[in-house]
Amino acid sequence: MSSSDRVHIVTWNVGSALPPDDISSLFGPHAGDGSTDMFIIGLQEVNSMINKRLKDALFTDQWSELCMDTLSRFGYVLVTSQRMQGVLLLVFSKFCHLPFLRGLQTEKTRTGLGGYWGNKGGVSARMTMFGHPVCFLNCHLPAHMRNLEQRMEDFGSILQQQQFEGGTASGVLDHDVVFWFGDLNFRIEDYDIHVVKSAIDSNKLPLLWERDQLNIAKNSESILDGFLEGPLKFPPTYKFDVGTHTYDTSSKKRKPAWTDRILWRLRCTGSPVPTQNAALQRGLTSWLGGATKVVQHSYRSHMGYTCSDHKPVSAVFSLHFPFKVDLPLVTLEYVKEWTKVSDATVRFIVMSNFQRSSWDWVAIYKVGFKHHKDYVTYVWAKADHGSQVTFTEEDLPRDAGEYILGFYSNNMNTIIGVTSPFQVRTLPDVFLPVFSDVSSEDDSTLVLLAPASSRSPSPGKSKHHHRHRRSRSPAHSNTPMPSLQGLSLHPRPLEGLPSSRSPCSAAKKERLVSPQDTLPSPISPLTPRSPVSPGGGVSAPEALIAAILGEHRPTQVTPTGGRSPGKPGETSL
């Protein structure tokens, strides 16, 4: 983990347009270099015609698909999404952060037609990021110069109505950090269209800042207290003739405006360090620095896109947390070399405060997966079946490439434990006979291997079997399996038992190599817990007390960037 977390937010009123072929530039020139931890996308006016919505209900909308296609290529997974008619919010993260994004909840508030219609309003997603409550709110507020008051009123209704369950941060503004963005529809007052256009042409944007309704309202509306925004150094992003870079020439002749905005707000006091002891909590919280800090690195428009009458706007932020809760609720351990079917066993260690469900599962994901249901295969991890699962030979990935293991919690509705990526390699001389055995099933094999939502477990509908099986080939009873002879899972030297700690670290990548490679001897799946296993770990406060008493070095537990052995449970929420 880096010492801060980088969040990249995009807002775009897409004007009911179909998505263009390539939107990758929205995610910055370095989307693939791993420097961004989360991408948040707020869209407005996503086509929500009735027939379109029926299709979307089944297959998701084309914008979501395109965002998932684009960001999954860079290793980002859809964490959660919320849609209300045309207002859509998508939250993506590096897969290795999934275990530390907890308490996910979404909300939506209609404000159109007096609160009955969702053409206007707000959708939000809240979560704790490494123990700190953060909320993302995407709004589409009423249009037109004259509706300033209505915009403020609607924003107030959204804040009032959006209430989350089960914690201290029940309202949007109770979160340590709020990002508020969208087509907020504020306009430039007083100046006529010619003055505005000539100020834009002559790059005299500061002249227009003073007349921007949102800038003015920040000084008078208490509801906007604490909201911050970077300087608007880009030209107004509304309204353009579709297909051009020309401001509105239609009969409407709308005045250009910065309708599309990204703001943030910090709570004055940060989250308390999680501990039961109130006095200790006060002390530790003040010692650790209290509030989260946010730094904006860029705030820009993307003028090249022409499919809508709005241009997209993006902003990049660093979040500096005073401490991090970054121990997973579940640690996955697995034998490093899979050469026989019993090796394909994954043992998991759960934290004592984690509540298991019969509908939890352990899945194999190909790196580049789009969301938690986009697995290659899964095995139910029923509580009464102990703490390990075994994949069958037929469950194993057929494609060479990078894979991870993930533990999905049904109660928490998210992946709560992941491993580092490992390589699966196939040996042609070993694999080919296997594939030729099932050559008549090639098509079905391809279908089954293709990422598809249809492969999601549907516990409510399907029989609750222990293991998901592909219908690909009959299971072999003898070991070693032909295909398994071509696979071995092997961490790089210096690694002990592969586990799900620090999965972001490229240096800790594991690989599946052929048995011919030089390997250390395999480790049994039943290897005892590593010394840092969460079962034997300590909570942040406990470790801090120990640190104060000199039993542990403080560097193990303190703030940001360090390996804080904090209790990962959602203690404050």
Smallest distance from ligand I3P to CB 321, Å: 37
Measure Cα distances from 49 to 85, 86, 309 in Å: 9, 9, 18
Smallest distance from ligand I3P to CB 238, Å: 7
HSE at residue 89, side-chain half, CA atoms within 13 A, is: 28
Smallest distance from ligand I3P to CB 248, Å: 7
Task: Select from 297, 311, 173 the least CA-distant residue to 239.
Answer: 311
Smallest distance from ligand I3P to CB 573, Å: 34
Smallest distance from ligand I3P to CB 564, Å: 46
| Alpha-carbon gap, residue 326 to 565, rounded angstroms | 7
Please name the residue that has the structure tokens 């990078």: 402
- Which of 45/260 has CB closer to ligand I3P? 45
HSE at residue 398, side-chain half, CA atoms within 13 A, is: 19
Is 489 within 8 Å of 336 (Cβ atoms)?
Answer: yes
Task: Select from 47, 41, 45, 48 the least CA-distant residue to 7.
Answer: 41
Is 528 within 8 Å of 331 (Cβ atoms)?
Answer: no
| Alpha-carbon gap, residue 307 to 221, rounded angstroms | 34
> Looking at this protein, which amino acid is placed at residue 383?
A
Closest residue (Cβ) to ligand I3P?
Answer: 143
N- to C-terminal Cα separation, the chain:
23
Is 93 within 8 Å of 8 (Cβ atoms)?
Answer: no
- Note the maximum CA span of the chain: 82
- Which of 120/356 has CB closer to ligand I3P? 120
> Can you count the helices (H) and strands (E) in the chain?
10, 22
Chain positions contacting ligand I3P, by CB under 6 A: 45, 119-120, 143, 239, 252, 254
Smallest distance from ligand I3P to CB 309, Å: 6
Is 323 within 8 Å of 562 (Cβ atoms)?
Answer: no
Smallest distance from ligand I3P to CB 151, Å: 11
- Which of 175/254 has CB closer to ligand I3P? 254
- Which of 141/545 has CB closer to ligand I3P? 141
Peptide bond into 480 cis (omega under 30): yes
- Which of 239/490 has CB closer to ligand I3P? 239
| Alpha-carbon gap, residue 189 to 160, rounded angstroms | 28
Smallest distance from ligand I3P to CB 252, Å: 5
- Which of 108/239 has CB closer to ligand I3P? 239
Please name the residue that has the structure tokens 């949102």: 214
- Which of 95/181 has CB closer to ligand I3P? 181
Smallest distance from ligand I3P to CB 260, Å: 11
Smallest distance from ligand I3P to CB 88, Å: 14
DSSP string, 32-97: GGT--SEEEEEEES----HHHHHHHHHH--HHHHHHHHHHHHTTEEEEEEEEETTEEEEEEEEGGG
By residue count, the chain amounts to 573
